[in-house]
Amino acid sequence: MHKKILVINPGSTTTKIAVFDNNKSLFLKNIQHNPEDIEKFDRIADQFDFRKTIIMEELNMANIDFHKINIVVGRGGLLKPMTGGVYRVNEAMIRDIKNPMAEHASNLGGYIAREIADLIGNGVEAYIADPTCVDELEDVARISGLPQIPRKSMLHALNQKAVARRFASETGSKYEELNFIVAHLGGGITVGAHQKGKIIDTNNGLDGDGPFSPERAGGLPAGQLVEMCFSGKYTKAEIKKLLTGHGGVMAYLGTSSAIEVEHRIENGDEQAKLIYSAMAYQVAKEIGAMSTVLKGEVDVIILTGGVAYDKNFVDMIIERVKHLGIVRVYPGEDEMRALAMNGLLVLKGEIQAKEYY
C-alpha cells in the first residue's frame, strides 16, 4: 500500500520540504530564505508563521494533494533529553518548542509539522525523529570531573542512526544487534558509540567537546580557556562565537568550506594541509576512545556527513583506525529520507511512536 509522507526540515537560513511515496521521493524543495527576513525575528519561535506560509505556498505551487498525505514528520529540535526514536508532536512538546532550552531553527520542525497535520485532518498526525538532544548515555559517561558540569549528549543522532541502520540492512542484520562507532563529519563533528541500538557515549558537538570541526573549536585546554575568558579582551558572546561558528578550521584558515580547503591543499598550502591533518587526527583519536567504550567489540566504523565526500580526509582517518575494525563510508547526510523512513516505519507498524513528557 502506498503511504505519502510530508517532511519538514528548517535550517538557519533554509527550509527543506519533501514528499515521499513509501521510500520514493516525489518532491524536494530547498527554500532559501533572505537572511534579512530571518533577522527581523527576535526568537526562532517567532518565525513560525513566516516559514509555514512559505511552505504552504511551495506545496500548493507543486500541486501536492494534502488529502493524500498520511503522516507529517518534522526535524526535531533542542528539547529535553530523550531516548532515540519517533515521537508524536503533542502539547507538551509544543510547550517546550515555544520555550526551548536553546535557540535553533530545527525547533520549528515539529511545530510546523503539527500545524500542517491539523490542517490536513483525517487523523493525520505529526512526529519528529531522533533529534539532536537524543540522550542514551550510560551513567558513567555523564561524569566530567566537576559535578557542576555534567557531560551532555548533543549529536547528529538522526544521521548517525540512519546510516547505522542502513549498514545493518545491507548486511542482513539489525541495528539493535550490532556495535557501531559512527563519526558524523560536518560543520560540527560528533562521534557516537552505538551499542545494540543505543548511543551510550558521544562528544557534545554543539558547544565544545571532542574534535574540532570546520566551524567549532571542540575540546580546548581548560586552563587556557579560563584565562582567555577573563582576559578582558572578549565578551561572553564573542567567546561563544569563537567556540561555535568561528572556531576550528574557520579560526585557522578563515573558511569553513571543505571544498576550499581541498583546493588550497592541492595548490600547495602547507598550513591548510596541517590543519586538515590535525582535524582528521582528532577524529581518529575520538574513534579510538569510543572503541574503549565498546570494550573493543566494534562491528563497524562508519564515516558520514558532508566532509566524508573528501576522500583524502577520510583516508587520513582510516589510516589511523583501520586496526580497530572494518570501516565504511556513507558521505553526506540525507536527513529528508531519514525522517521519511522513520515516518514510514510508524505507518507500517514496525516501530511504536513514543510520547514526549
Cell numbers given for 264: 588550497
Residues 272 and 261 sit within 8 Å (Cβ to Cβ): yes
CATH topology match: 4-135+335-347 vs 157-331: yes
Q: What is the pLDDT of residue 334?
A: 86
* Mean pLDDT of the region 74-91: 95
Read off the pTM.
0.91
Task: Write down how long the chain is.
Answer: 357
User: Is the Cα dihedral 84, 85, 86, 92 positive or negative?
Assistant: negative
* Mean pLDDT of the region 320-348: 95
Calculate the average pLDDT of the chain.
95
Q: What is the pLDDT of residue 91?
A: 96
Q: For 176-233, write each residue's pLDDT tens digit.
A: 999 999 999 999 999 999 999 999 999 998 887 999 999 999 999 999 999 999 999 9
pLDDT band at 39 (very low <50, low <70, confident <90, very high): confident
Q: What is the percent of the chain where pLDDT is above 70?
A: 100
Q: What pairs with residue 190 in β-bridges?
A: 184
Q: For 282-294, write each residue's pLDDT tens digit.
A: 999 999 999 999 9
Beta strands in 186-326 (DSSP E): 189-195, 198-202, 300-305
Q: For 102-156, write each residue's pLDDT tens digit.
A: 788 899 999 999 999 999 999 999 999 999 999 999 999 999 999 999 999 999 9
Residue 240: Cβ-neighbour burial (10 angstroms; 0-12, 13-18, 19+): middle
HSE-up of 107 (CA within 13 Å, CB side)?
22
Please report, for the chain, the start and end positions of each structural domain, with discontinuous segments joined by +: 4-135+335-347, 157-331
User: What topology does CATH give the domain 157-331?
Assistant: Nucleotidyltransferase; domain 5 (3.30.420)
Cell numbers given for 115: 500545524
User: What topology does CATH give the domain 4-135+335-347?
Assistant: Nucleotidyltransferase; domain 5 (3.30.420)
